[in-house]
Amino acid sequence: MLFRSTCRRSLPALALPPLAALLLGAMLLVSACSPALNWREVRGTEAPFSVLLPAKPATHARGIDLNGLKVTMSMTAAEASGASFAVGAVKLADPAQHAAALAAMQTAMVRNIRGEIKRQQTVRLADGSSATEIEAAGRVGNHGQPVLLAARFASKGIWVVQAVAMGEPDKLSREAIETFLGSLALTH
C-alpha cells in the first residue's frame, strides 16, 4: 500500500468499462479527505510527460483494449477538493497507431461518463507540441451523478498520453482545469 488514509467513505457500486475502472481505481488509490490544492510537478517514470498535480499522486498500470489494440496503460492520478486529475500513458509498438489510439482513448473517456462533448479544439502544450482538448458533460454511477470531464490527448514518438480532470461540475474549478491541463508537456 502506498499510504494509509484515515478517511471513511462509502462509495456506490459502479459497473464500469475497463478504461473507466482503471481511471477510477487510480483515483481511489490516491483519494483523501478533500485536501487543498497543493500543486507539484510530476514526471512520467518511463512515459515522456510532465504535469502539475494538486496532491501526491499514485501510479497504477493495467492492460486495456483501445478499439482492438491491446496495450498497457500507466495511470498517474491524484484527487483533491472533490475532483480527480490523471495522466494515462500508453507505449505503442508502431507510431503509425497514434491517431487510432488517441481517438479510441477519447471515445472511451466520453463513453465512460455517458457523456457528450461540449467543446473540442486543437491546442499547444507547454512544450509546443499539439494536442486535442475536449470538455464533456456526462453522468456516472448507478444514480447518474453529473460529471464534468476536461482532457487533452497527445502523442510523442511511440507514446500516446491523455490528461484528464474529472469531477462534479461545482467541485471542478476552471482554475484547476487550466492549471492541470495547461501544465502538460511531452518531454524527453
In the predicted model, what is the mean pLDDT of residues 21-40? 57
- Burial state string for 62-71 with b = 16 or more CB within 10 A and e = fewer than 16: bebebeeeeb
In the predicted model, what is the mean pLDDT of residues 5-34? 46
Of 93, 97, 102, give the one whose Cα is nearest residue 122.
Answer: 102
Domains of the chain: 18-186 (3.40.1000.10)
The 10s digit of each residue's pLDDT in 96-155 is: 999 999 999 999 999 999 999 999 999 999 899 999 999 999 999 999 999 999 999 999
pLDDT band at 22 (very low <50, low <70, confident <90, very high): low
pLDDT band at 156 (very low <50, low <70, confident <90, very high): very high
Instruction: Give residues with Cβ within 8 angstroms of 8, minimum separation 6.
Output: none
> What is this structure's pTM?
0.80
In the predicted model, what is the mean pLDDT of residues 60-82? 95
Strands 69-80 and 83-91: antiparallel
pLDDT at 3 over 70: no
Look at residue 178 in the predicted model and tell me its pLDDT. Answer: 97
